[in-house]
Amino acid sequence: MKVAALALILMAAGLAASAGNSTSAADCSKTSMPFTPLIDLGTGKYHGYQGGLYPGGKNAPSKAYLKKGLAYAKLVKPRDASGKAASDGKVVLLSVGMSNTTQEFSEFLRESAAVKKDSHLVIVDGAQGGQDAEIVKDPEANFWRVLDGRLTAAGVTGAQVQTVWLKEAISRPTETFPADAKRLQADLHAIVTLMGSRFPNLRLVYVSSRTYGGYATTPLNPEPYAYQSGFAVKWLVQERIQGRLEGRPWVGWGPYLWTNGAKGRSDGLTWTCADVRPADGTHPSPSGQQKVAQLLLRFFTTNSTAKPWFS
């Protein structure tokens, strides 16, 4: 493949400027890593840090924290453009994140079209290529102006945004664990706080970490950073549980996306080389996008804090 053509593919992914060696191709030999998915790690530890999505090595929130989430879910209701409750108003589900996020959420939008949803629900993809956590945490970033434009194009306002799927990473990380995860955690903290101020009726924020990065051949966000981003999300949620993340929205896990490549995880999810784009092994291919979209659909149609307003 010619370099110019390959560069166009990376630009379409939104990260050509930061993806490193533009002639790299996916490394399909790295079918697994010596890491255990957080949902399977449980009370086990990774470099001294306990697994599970929630405290105590659990994959579900405590009864007390879930009760809070359910209370916040009850506050999600149709609102008019000014944010006032209205029977003919809207409930906006918004995505916030980077190139992988918009690629996966765009597929989710397509697939959700065939699913019965609440008539007031409007789904907007606010995620954008090339916009990593270091950029998005800045309230003056152009990311937010583009996002506002997308809300306007969808016929809704920031006052109607009540739920968010957030998936972010840091481009070209270099720190060793846990410094890399703590840096991302701090960025996610800033983003959630910023969203709380921008969207006055934001009630629920669902956060996901990266998909498997073993096939990556650029320094954009390879392993072990993709895996370790799960700890950033885990610690962010823990901050909210402990009251150290101030602000309006309840914060919990969305679908956990990392699986150990072709080796998979206990629920059967695998991530093969066919699930990434051959240009860099980092961005999802159509089959990878479909896998994430299906996980999102399952989450929003079955999770107890999401199902009442989604379905």
**Closest-CA residue to 252 (of 41, 9, 84, 65):** 65
- Widest Cα–Cα separation across the chain: 56
> Could you give the number of structural domains in the chain?
1
282: helix, coil or strand?
Answer: coil
Residues 133, 265: Cα–Cα separation, whole Å: 27
**How many Cβ atoms are within 10 Å of 118's Cβ, its own excluded?**
14
Residues 269, 297: Cα–Cα separation, whole Å: 15
The C-alpha R_g of the chain, in whole angstroms, comes to: 18
In this predicted model, what pLDDT tens digit does every residue of 251-302 receive, in sequence order? 999 999 999 999 999 999 999 999 999 999 999 999 999 999 999 999 999 9
CA distances from 152 to 12, 103, 125, 126 (A): 24, 21, 12, 11
Residues 3, 49: Cα–Cα separation, whole Å: 42
Q: What is the CATH number of the domain that holds 98?
A: 3.40.50.1110
Quote the tokens at residue 121: 């629900």
What's the mean pLDDT in 49-77?
98
The amino acid present at 245, given as its one-letter code, is L
Tally helices (H) and strands (E) across the chain. Answer: 10, 7
Q: What is the pLDDT of residue 70?
A: 98
Quote the tokens at residue 182: 């703590």
Contact 194, 248 (CB under 8 A): no
* Residue whose tokens read 């840090």: 49
Quote the tokens at residue 67: 């009760």
Q: What is the pLDDT of residue 4?
A: 38
End-to-end CA distance of the chain: 45
CA 80 from centroid of its chain's CA atoms:
27
In this predicted model, what pLDDT tens digit does every residue of 92-114 receive, in sequence order? 999 999 999 999 999 999 999 99
What's the mean pLDDT in 31-58?
98
CA 71 from centroid of its chain's CA atoms:
23
In this predicted model, what pLDDT tens digit does every residue of 213-244 receive, in sequence order? 999 999 999 999 999 999 999 999 999 999 99
Q: What is the pLDDT of residue 188?
A: 98
Contact 37, 260 (CB under 8 A): yes
DSSP conformational letter for 37: -
Q: Report residue 50's pLDDT band, with 50, 70 and 90 as the boundaries.
A: very high
Query: By residue range, what is the domain housing residue 113?
Result: 3-310
